[in-house]
Amino acid sequence: MVALEQEDMAAVQQLLQQYPELEEFADCLSAIDGIAVQANGAFLTEDAAHQVTVLEAAMARGERHIDPQRKFGPYELLDELGRGAMGIVYKARHSQLQRFVALKMISAGQLAGQELVDRFYQEARAAAKIRHPHIVGIHDIGSVDGQHYFAMDYVPAGTLGERLRNGRLSFEQSAQLMATVADAVGHLHEQGILHRDLKPANILLQGDLFPFIADFGLAKVFEAGSVQTRTGAIIGTPSYMSPEQAAGRTDQVSYRSDIYALGAVLYELLTGRPPFREATWTETTIQVVEGEPIRPTKLNPAVPPPLELICLKCLEKDPDRRYATAQALANDLRRYLQNEPVEASAGGYVHQIVRWGRRQPALACHWGALALAMLIIQGHGVVFPEAAGDYRLIEIVLFAWAASSGAWQWMANREATETLGRTGFLVSDVAFVTGLLFLASGPPGTLQVLYPLLIAASGLWFRPSLVWWTTTSAIIGALVGALAIPELRTPWHYPLIVMIILLVTGLAVAHQVGRVRALSRFYDRRPGMDALWP
């Protein structure tokens, strides 16, 4: 490597004569020479950048960057099997051995830096050592004309994702299948390999119950001296990645991250959909980090409660609350199959309340705040009994607000009324705040601080239209209050200032939400990003 970096070709030739097995590795390093990530202070050479641009544009158009029926090193490419975020997989035949393989091409743009190339070879070699009846073996790795590849066992089978598009498996079949997959993942972990991208598309399926784990493109090797993923990198498929992966906390990624992914696959087997799948990549990632999946029995009442408990234990936000090992998950699935009590449990009342709050954050915040307001009013009534009667109407309004929030949330949780529920939720909040302005016994102006808070909160729905609905409603509410309550229009310019503040707040929040959605759409449209969706 030092000789190549110093362009000492005489030394390179001497080394290759002594160690001919290094020839392939030297060719690979030469092919990627000059390609490095921007963060490391280097850059793509003009020719390499042009090749990457052409390659990504071709992939965006759905074109094959290497045509089948042509030679590729010792292989003959026969047909395209699929494409993903890191490249394309072909069915190929080794010219001399006459053996069929699945050949995965790794685009140069995905292996820009020396560090990434080193990790690619290190992890592929580690995966090549794995021998398990339910893991696709890797038996060749190399580079042809700067195009990196590895050859895997060819399994003439479809993926679990394709199988699910044709109908669900039975609950017993799902449990048996996932127990087998968990066994295979446990074997990977015993060898020091973390997969990091387990999903239906990476589980090949022969029949209904004979799976193979494939695609080690994102695998991580835990061993001394291994190249670690830099902190902050988000690696995986949003709908199946663990919260620590989605948040970029790579120092917290462990074997239990794979157990989360197994739970996400089991969730889809039980319900027909992954735990989280929002309109965009960004929104899905945020839900993975902050949200709580809907209980499987809510989506499919036929799901057996023990399977639901097993699934939700895998999907815990806190890795320590998940199964300690993949083998422990497999054992619990087999307990279900044998009609034995499973180890998974729903947890205590506090834990269940916390999980409910993550599933319904808007409603939980509303009810919590309204409960606190009621508690303060009740406390004031105890300290000043003569004023207790003055707060009766306010208590009625707060109760009505809580009931209204529950009703709007119920509508927002249903696909047919989702938009109406969200819009009604936000507009009713403004209406109740305006009503409290009329009932306040103290200076009513202090309650107007709730208007900009409601506008800011509306941005959490990631819909600019909802932000503008809330902003418009808040301005109308403030105007009504100013016309009806003398204290709110003294001095005369006070209402104008309030409305300007509300308008500016709405503009700022809507602008930021629009930027997030634009960035999300940009990443969703990048070549290969479609592979991140099941």
Catalytic residues: 197
**Using CA atoms, how far apart are residues 2 and 9, in angstroms rounded to an integer?**
11
Contact 147, 131 (CB under 8 A): no
What is the full DSSP assignment across 400-418?
A: HHHHHHHHHHHHHTSGGGH
Q: Name the burial class of residue 385, with classes exposed (0-12), middle (13-18) and buried (19+) by CB atoms within 10 angstroms of its CB.
A: exposed
Strands (E) in 27-174, as ranges, are 71-72, 75-83, 87-94, 100-106, 138-144, 147-153, 158-159
Phi/psi of residue 72, nearest 5 degrees:
-140, 95
Smallest Cα–Cα separation from 299: which of 277, 333, 268?
Answer: 268
Question: What does each C-alpha distance from 96 to 74, 76, 93, 488 come to in angstroms?
Answer: 7, 10, 9, 88
What is the full DSSP assignment across 67-96?
A: -SSSEETTEEEEEEEEE-SSEEEEEEEETT
Contact 119, 48 (CB under 8 A): no
Beta bridge partners of 144: 147
**Using CA atoms, how far apart are residues 302 and 18, in angstroms rounded to an integer?**
66
Cis amide linkage into residue 491, ω under 30° from 0: yes
**Using CA atoms, how far apart are residues 87 and 66, in angstroms rounded to an integer?**
11
What residue type is 307 in one-letter code? L
Contact 139, 74 (CB under 8 A): no
User: Residue written as tokens 């409601």?
Assistant: 454
User: What length is written for the chain?
Assistant: 534
Q: Name the burial class of residue 191, with classes exposed (0-12), middle (13-18) and buried (19+) by CB atoms within 10 angstroms of its CB.
A: middle
Dihedral sign (CA 404, 405, 406, 409):
positive
Smallest Cα–Cα separation from 148: which of 320, 29, 306?
Answer: 29
Q: Name the burial class of residue 374, with classes exposed (0-12), middle (13-18) and buried (19+) by CB atoms within 10 angstroms of its CB.
A: middle
In terms of DSSP H, where are the helices of 323-360?
326-337, 349-359
